[in-house]
Amino acid sequence: GRAAPEAADLPLPAVPMRVLVALAELPGCERLAVARDGGLVRASARLARVPDPVVVGALGERARLAGGRLRHGRLLWRRRLTVVLPARAGGPLPRSSPQQLLGRVPWLRAQGIPLLIFALEATEALLTAGRPAAFYGAAPLPVRLAGATALALAFVPRRRWPLLSVLAVVAICMLRTVVFDDAFGLNPPLYLAAFVAGAYVRPLWLAALGAAACVAGGFLTVVLAFDWNWELYPPNMLLFFATMVTAAWATGVGGRRRLAQADELRALSSVEERRQGRAIERAVEAERLRVARELHDLVGHGLTSITLQCAVAAQQLESAPRQAAAAIAAVEEVGAEVLRELHQLLAALDGSAAPAAPELARLRELARRAGAHGLDVRLELAGDLASVPAGHAGAAYRIVQEALTNARKHGGAGPVGARVARERGRLAIEVRNSLASPVALADAAPAAALPLTASPATAAGSGLGLAGMRERVRVYDGWLTAGPDDAGDWLVRAELPLPA
């Protein structure tokens, strides 16, 4: 393949990895070399042909969103692109002081032209202060600096109101020279105004009028302010000025596409940042729901057992002390088991250990504990359950655990049948128990259809049990039903498709 052998061995977060994949999939990519340098990952792609600037811009935006940056030479002759990315999630690249300043003050990036004009005009005003008025005009320094500031401010709204910005620049140039006797370099501001007209004014004919206004304004300023002597100053000088203004305007027109692409990339960047923000919020919410389900399964099952055993111990403490002692021992055993599983859950949440899904082999221990608490569980395990994927096994275990908990809380005195079987590419779960009282329940639906009518016994509960079971089967595209069967028993059935 295109990637260097060591590229596949680099453990990278998902977003930087997608940037590397996009770099490798560039049209004409012959080779991708990836290397780790401390906390950074550098990927260099050698291309068979010059890349499309639009594609490169999109790749650079992806790299920026991942906390990195794209490096490239002049696209007219360079055929190598280098991406530098942080090796860890949330670890942006170190920035230089100018980059930090631009990042903290975003408008500095967008106002390069006004800052350039102010720097040029203010420097010229300071250097020409006190020089002969015949050459540099009689305007005092404060007037010159005010004129430089006005010119710079005229360029600020060039993106929103470009034609107004161009006309304001022309008017300020004429006022400074003709009215305030401030002889300054007309060329830079008028060239940049023509560029703004070509780059931002729409439609094209209106942009051409903006450039014509720059040429006409320059001509009128020279003629009115300096009593133009056509014999001393030949028309070739004005022709040169008009040619340069036209060239600046044509450069702006040629840059329209690039500017439109930059605006589009900024819009895409904003959309991507919002999308990532929503994805993070959804992930956090999903994690909260997962933790709530796990806590419900762990604590709900354990507390139900502890409550029932404590009730048994209280009733038999005087009449049957041995049975009361056995119930108290069962409480201790369940409490230790719940505490152990809570420690595992907390370790998974803080990242110190991988989350451990319960194995189906532990169903026998679950049935044994339920039997010790007075529930007659008849468990049947069928098929090759040892090779069931961990996620599917954990979901099946929790479904059986929740069904047994509900049977202990709300079921009748009869036995509880539990069956987990692997058959024909699916994992089938079935738990059946008698009911303590008649239950009216509407037709149960697959997991995708959420409505279920709870029985009077279960209506007092939190509702997390059935919702948690449904969510577990939904994750694996399965289905679940819960309701009374024809014999009047409560039946929980679920199926999970297994990967081939």
Q: What is the 3-state secondary structure (H, E, C) of 307-346?
A: HHHHHHHHHHCCCCHHHHHHHHHHHHHHHHHHHHHHHHHH
Q: What is the pLDDT of residues 174-219, one digit of tens each?
A: 998 888 888 777 788 999 999 999 999 989 999 999 999 999 998 8
Mean pLDDT, range 240-248, rounded to an integer? 92
Return the amino acid letter for 496. L
When pLDDT is cut at 50, 70 and 90, the band that residue 298 belongs to is low
Q: What is the pLDDT of residues 372-424, one digit of tens each?
A: 777 889 999 998 888 888 888 888 888 898 888 888 777 777 889 999 999 88
43/74 same-domain check: yes
What integer pLDDT is reported at residue 202 of this predicted model?
A: 87
Q: Which of 104, 121, 147 is the last residue of a domain?
A: 104
How confident is the prediction for the chain on average, in pLDDT? 76
**Helix (H) / strand (E) containing 418:** strand 416-423
Number of domains in the chain: 2
Mean pLDDT, range 302-323, rounded to an integer? 73
Return the amino acid letter for 22. A
In a domain, 91, yes or no: yes
Is 434 in contact with 489 (CB distance < 8 Å)? yes
Q: Cβ atoms within 10 A of the Cβ of 89, count?
A: 12
Least confident of 4-8, 151-155, 186-190: 4-8
80/138 same-domain check: no
Is 137 in contact with 95 (CB distance < 8 Å)? no
77/173 same-domain check: no
Least confident of 26-35, 297-306, 358-367: 297-306
Separation of alpha carbons 259 and 313, rounded Å? 79
Q: Which of 224, 254, 284 is the last residue of a domain?
A: 254
Mean pLDDT, range 250-266, rounded to an integer? 79
Domain that holds residue 179: 113-254
Separation of alpha carbons 391 and 475, rounded Å? 10
Mean pLDDT, range 303-326, rounded to an integer? 74
Question: Is the pLDDT reported for residue 58 higher than 80?
Answer: no
Look-up: residue for tokens 């032209």?
113
Three-state SS string across 288-314, please?
HHHHHHHHHHHHHHHHHHHHHHHHHHH
Residue 308, CA distances (Å) to 71, 364, 402 in order:
67, 21, 16
Pairing mode, strands 377-382 and 479-484: unpaired
Mean pLDDT, range 109-134, rounded to an integer? 80
**Helix (H) / strand (E) containing 173:** helix 162-174
What integer pLDDT is reported at residue 62 of this predicted model?
A: 76
Pairing mode, strands 426-433 and 377-382: unpaired
Separation of alpha carbons 175 and 365, rounded Å? 93
More confident position, 297 or 372: 372
What integer pLDDT is reported at residue 321 of this predicted model?
A: 78
Question: Is the pLDDT reported for residue 470 higher than 80?
Answer: yes
70/171 same-domain check: no
Which of 177-191, 274-288, 344-358, 432-446 has the highest mean predicted lDDT (pLDDT)? Answer: 177-191
Residue 46, CA distances (Å) to 25, 72, 364 in order:
12, 11, 59
What integer pLDDT is reported at residue 29 of this predicted model?
A: 81
The CATH number assigned to the domain holding 81 equals 3.30.565
What integer pLDDT is reported at residue 163 of this predicted model?
A: 94
17 token code pair: 């990895």
What integer pLDDT is reported at residue 52 of this predicted model?
A: 72
Separation of alpha carbons 427 and 146, rounded Å? 81
Look-up: residue for tokens 């007659």?
376
Q: Which of 207, 225, 254 is the last residue of a domain?
A: 254
What integer pLDDT is reported at residue 168 of this predicted model?
A: 95
135 token code pair: 């050459």
Question: Is the pLDDT reported for residue 6 higher than 50?
Answer: no
What integer pLDDT is reported at residue 247 of this predicted model?
A: 94
118/207 same-domain check: yes
In a domain, 171, yes or no: yes
3-class state of residue 357 by DSSP: coil
* Helix residue ranges, H only, 30-75: 53-65
Least confident of 43-52, 137-146, 296-305, 368-377: 296-305
In a domain, 132, yes or no: yes
227/144 same-domain check: yes
In a domain, 454, yes or no: no
What integer pLDDT is reported at residue 353 of this predicted model?
A: 55
The dihedral region occupied by 73, where left means phi > 0, alpha psi between -120 and 50, and beta the remainder, is beta
428 token code pair: 């089938």
Which of 2-11, 109-118, 211-220, 279-288 has the highest mean predicted lDDT (pLDDT)? Answer: 211-220
3-class state of residue 72 by DSSP: strand
Mean pLDDT, range 53-75, rounded to an integer? 71
17/140 same-domain check: no
164/207 same-domain check: yes
What integer pLDDT is reported at residue 3 of this predicted model?
A: 42
Separation of alpha carbons 477 and 472, rounded Å? 9
48/83 same-domain check: yes
Strands (E), 125-182: none
Separation of alpha carbons 137 and 153, rounded Å? 23
Question: Is the pLDDT reported for residue 170 higher than 90?
Answer: yes
244/126 same-domain check: yes
121/244 same-domain check: yes
Question: Is the pLDDT reported for residue 240 higher than 50?
Answer: yes
Return the amino acid letter for 239. L
In a domain, 207, yes or no: yes
Q: What is the pLDDT of residues 329-374, one digit of tens each?
A: 767 776 777 777 676 666 655 555 555 567 788 888 888 888 877 7
Please report, to the nearest 10 degrees, the dihedral formed by the alpha carbons of residues 334, 339, 342, 347 taken in order. -140
- pTM exceeds 0.85: no
Least confident of 91-95, 215-219, 310-314, 433-437: 91-95
Whole-number percent of the chain with pLDDT over 90:
17
In a domain, 341, yes or no: no
283 token code pair: 């992930």
Tell me, rounded to whole angstroms, the distance of Cα 218 from its chain centroid.
50
In a domain, 313, yes or no: no
Separation of alpha carbons 26 and 443, rounded Å? 54
What integer pLDDT is reported at residue 305 of this predicted model?
A: 66
In a domain, 60, yes or no: yes
What integer pLDDT is reported at residue 376 of this predicted model?
A: 87
What integer pLDDT is reported at residue 212 of this predicted model?
A: 94
Return the amino acid letter for 424. R
Buried b (16+ CB within 10 A) or exposed e, 249-269: beebbeebeeeeeeeebeeee
Sign of the CA dihedral running 234, 235, 236, 242? positive
122/232 same-domain check: yes
What integer pLDDT is reported at residue 108 of this predicted model?
A: 59
What integer pLDDT is reported at residue 437 of this predicted model?
A: 56
Return the amino acid letter for 67. G
What integer pLDDT is reported at residue 374 of this predicted model?
A: 75
